[in-house]
Amino acid sequence: MNIKALNGFKDILPGEVELWQRLEALARDIFGRFNFAEIRLPILEKTDLFARAIGEATDIVEKEMYTFVDKQVTMRPEATASLLRAYIEHGLHVQKPVQRLFTIGPMFRHERPQKGRLRQFHQMDVEVLGSTSPRVDAEMMAMGAMLLNELGLTVSLEINSLGCQVCRPGFRSNLLVFLDDRHQALCEDCKRRSVTNPLRVLDCKNPRCREQVLEAPSLQDHLCTDCAEHFNEVQAGLDQLGVQYRLNKFMVRGLDYYTRTTFEFITGDLGAQAAVGAGGRYDGLVEQLGGPQIPGIGFALGMERLVLLLQQQEAKLLASGVDLFMAGLGAQATHYGFALAHALRATGMRVAMDLEGRSLKSQMKQAGKLGAAHVLILAEEEFTEGKAVLRNMATQQQQEIILQDTAVTGQILIKLIAS
């Protein structure tokens, strides 16, 4: 076998899939509690959409997109751009002044894979459009925290404010002056960053840069009164809802569209991939994409990273996949069991049956491995007398049952197993 999955692409096998299902089910439940509606979006969009939304100069757009060059289309590297496109295209802002939407699905970025980072990865993406209320920011983070908490994960929340079009330019030019003075002391990456994306120098991991940056002009001191007040109210909201967080004035988000509130859910258990979820406000983005002047805020959770944490933090789930194992011995009895299994499945019961004609011992082994709650033993001798044996695998108790036609026997079994 020399055909393998592509580098950075993974199969999710039975065993792990159950974890994904549990994650999605809980997320849908919680998003529902907060009155979010699901939206399903295409994976392929015009390349231009992402270039405009994410930013021409970002790494994602510059070198990480899967693009069909001849068709000018790209497999989405993130969900927000697509979601806003759909929002604008269908005039959802007219239907409801505030839209709360979420979407779940695969994203694609051509990066070098490593732990918690794949080329096809999955995100749960949540957005609120049409509100500038700081309560929305707080509620959104509270919802993320609730999900992580109910998954049993310990993850910390860091927040910051990046200001708006009014206050960011002033901060940016002050920062540029500061970085110019220290240029020689910065690492190579930061020398480059100070030209391409100066804000990113603030969260460089290099200890020397960190030291330099300690005295850098603070974003907090440059916030205009509106932004400062907004950020204060966000924090007040988090306090009111009892959400733990930490102010990180060096936190900068990578995508160009963020304004004001930004936040990250961080773990120390995933190596270099600390962020399991992150997002922020993007008050100018809808307009920038050709829509009306509508504010928005959103965040994405990395599902691979959550699943890794669930596995790592021993959040195990062991559910029996089988209610009944049908064990048949002999042609006549097996013939009857084949039909009985089908009748039971039609009523909703999960029934497993070995169709290979193996020994009873082997069939019992299979039943044990599958975690079957009960086994119906249809053996030649009893079968000719119209009887069979129902075994409770947990208690090891067995009882004889009288066989009738499959429909009637099915009803009897359902009652016996339920009791």
Partner RNA sequence: GUGAAUGUAGCUCAGCUGGUGGUAGCACUUGGUUGUGGUCCAGGCGGUCGUGGGUUCGAGUCCCAUCAUUCACCCCA
Phi-psi region for residue 357, left (φ > 0), alpha (ψ -120 to 50) or beta? left
Q: Which stretch binds RNA (CB under 7 A): 154-162, 170-178, 241-249, 296-304?
A: 296-304
Q: Which stretch binds RNA (CB under 7 A): 39-47, 286-294, 301-309, 310-318?
A: 301-309
Rounded-to-integer distance, Cα 129 and Cα 43, Å:
21
- Contact between 337 and RNA by CB under 7 A: the answer reads no
Least Å distance between CB 306 and RNA? 8
- Work out the burial of residue 76: count CB atoms within 10 Å of its CB; fewer than 13 is exposed, 13-18 middle, 19 or more buried: buried
Q: Pick from 116, 198, 296, 410: which binds RNA (CB under 7 A)? A: 116
- Contact between 189 and RNA by CB under 7 A: the answer reads yes
Nearer to RNA, 131 or 262 (CB): 262
- Contact between 361 and RNA by CB under 7 A: the answer reads yes
- Give the distance, in angstroms, between the CA of residue 251 and the centroid of all CA atoms in the same chain: 22
- Contact between 205 and RNA by CB under 7 A: the answer reads yes
For residue 320, give the DSSP letter: -
Nearer to RNA, 72 or 359 (CB): 359
Q: Pick from 38, 48, 381, 405: which binds RNA (CB under 7 A)? A: 381
Q: Which stretch binds RNA (CB under 7 A): 137-145, 165-173, 294-302, 411-419?
A: 294-302
Q: Do residues 156 and 246 touch, judged by C-beta distance below 8 A?
A: yes
Rounded-to-integer distance, Cα 323 and Cα 367, Å:
10
Rounded-to-integer distance, Cα 114 and Cα 319, Å:
31
Nearer to RNA, 173 or 332 (CB): 332
Question: Within positions 65 to 104, which residues make up the interface with RNA, using CB under 7 A?
Answer: 78
- Contact between 193 and RNA by CB under 7 A: the answer reads yes
Map residues 128-167 to x or -, x wherever contact with RNA holds by CB under 7 A: ----------------------------------------
3-state SS class at 11: coil
Nearer to RNA, 139 or 264 (CB): 264
For residue 176, give the DSSP letter: H
Question: Within positions 37 to 56, which residues make up the interface with RNA, using CB under 7 A?
Answer: none
Q: Which stretch binds RNA (CB under 7 A): 27-35, 141-149, 265-273, 309-317?
A: 265-273
How many residues are present in the chain? 419
- Contact between 106 and RNA by CB under 7 A: the answer reads no
- Contact between 359 and RNA by CB under 7 A: the answer reads yes
Q: Pick from 165, 173, 362, 399: which binds RNA (CB under 7 A)? A: 362
Least Å distance between CB 97 and RNA? 27
Nearer to RNA, 107 or 344 (CB): 107
Least Å distance between CB 331 and RNA? 14
DSSP per residue over 89-158, as a string?
HTTHHHH-SSEEEEEEEEEE-----BTTB-SEEEEEEEEEES---HHHHHHHHHHHHHHHHHTT---EEE
Question: Within positions 223 to 252, which residues make up the interface with RNA, using CB under 7 A?
Answer: none
Least Å distance between CB 92 and RNA? 23
Rounded-to-integer distance, Cα 175 and Cα 200, Å:
11
The answer for residues whose C-beta is within 8 angstroms of residue 120's C-beta and 6 or more apart is 8, 9, 10, 106, 107, 108
Least Å distance between CB 262 and RNA? 9
The answer for residues whose C-beta is within 8 angstroms of residue 33's C-beta and 6 or more apart is none
Q: Pick from 3, 69, 317, 394: which binds RNA (CB under 7 A)? A: 394
- Contact between 379 and RNA by CB under 7 A: the answer reads yes
Q: How many CA atoms are closer than 13 Å to the CA of 139, on its beta-carbon side? A: 17
Burial 333-353 (b: 16+ CB within 10 A, else e): bbebbeebbebbeeeebebbb
Least Å distance between CB 203 and RNA? 8
Q: Which two tokens stand for residue 173?
A: 């030019």
- Contact between 60 and RNA by CB under 7 A: the answer reads yes
